[in-house]
Amino acid sequence: MDLNSVKQAIEELKQIDFKNEHSYEQTIWKFLKCVELPNYTYSIPKDTVVFRTRTHKENEEFFENVSQIGITPKKFITDFGRCNRPAQSVFYASENRPTSYAELIESCTKDKGEGDRVMVTIGAWKLKKNMDVVVVTSPNKEERVSEYDKMHGDNLDAELAGIEDENDRKSIQEIYKFLFEIFRRPSNDDTLNYILTSAFSNISLMHPDGPTDGIYYPSVPFRFQGVNYAITESFATKNLELVSALRNEFSITINAEGKHHFKEIGKIDAKKIDIEKDMIIWK
């Protein structure tokens, strides 16, 4: 890789007019100008449990089918997400319940006020096989504030130390600096940044070194302390098994910073999960 070409490609990525109808395609081409995207991966072991939360509509008491809380069908995906383009199914999940809930605070409370109620169902899904994920972290030690970044930052350092060509090493560091920046931006109801992150995600998942199963990145709403997964449809539909489900009811409160927060006011555990019949039995 040529360091100057990489820096130029990153500057061009920053200048894309994301309101242009071909901005996603332009972003793909600009990323490919980097010549070779880095592909630091990590294997999440079999039997790891991940969590996915779905909100209820006002008239929905329970989700009675496993498929209702699983991956969202393509036909319902009309916009870009952190790691998906429109009409692309991605199974978004978190490493624990608090992170999964935090991901919903901004999206499901923006039109609600203090005292309003929100109903959600959170599913615990177990990996049936190891899952290889692309890791997004910083090459700069001073930016590693979470346990995730400290651990994977050290691993990234070891990967970079094994690259003999200084030009290649510095080029990869520049790309990681840019990826760290765009994956840590809050959406704030502006999904244009998602064009950048979803373009990188789709390219890296098809890396020449071999396809991977998802993207691994910290939660922006949870202040980077929690970790999220964006898992490919092909992996999620075959290798994730629902092992438990919990329906939570929350009352919206306002914290000391004037932001929305949740207070739990009720919960019901599913009595049984019947995978073959696609059923969740609550009573």
List pLDDT tens digits, range 165-224: 899 999 999 999 999 999 988 876 667 899 999 999 999 888 666 679 999 998 886 665
Cα–Cα distances (Å) from 193 to 185, 204, 214, 252, in that order, read 8, 17, 19, 28
Q: Which structure tokens are listed for 238?
A: 């075959």
Return the higher-pLDDT residue of 36 and 265: 265
CB 197 within 8 A of CB 83: yes
pLDDT band at 106 (very low <50, low <70, confident <90, very high): low
What is the model's pLDDT at position 114?
79
Cα–Cα distances (Å) from 125 to 105, 188, 241, 275, in that order, read 21, 29, 5, 12
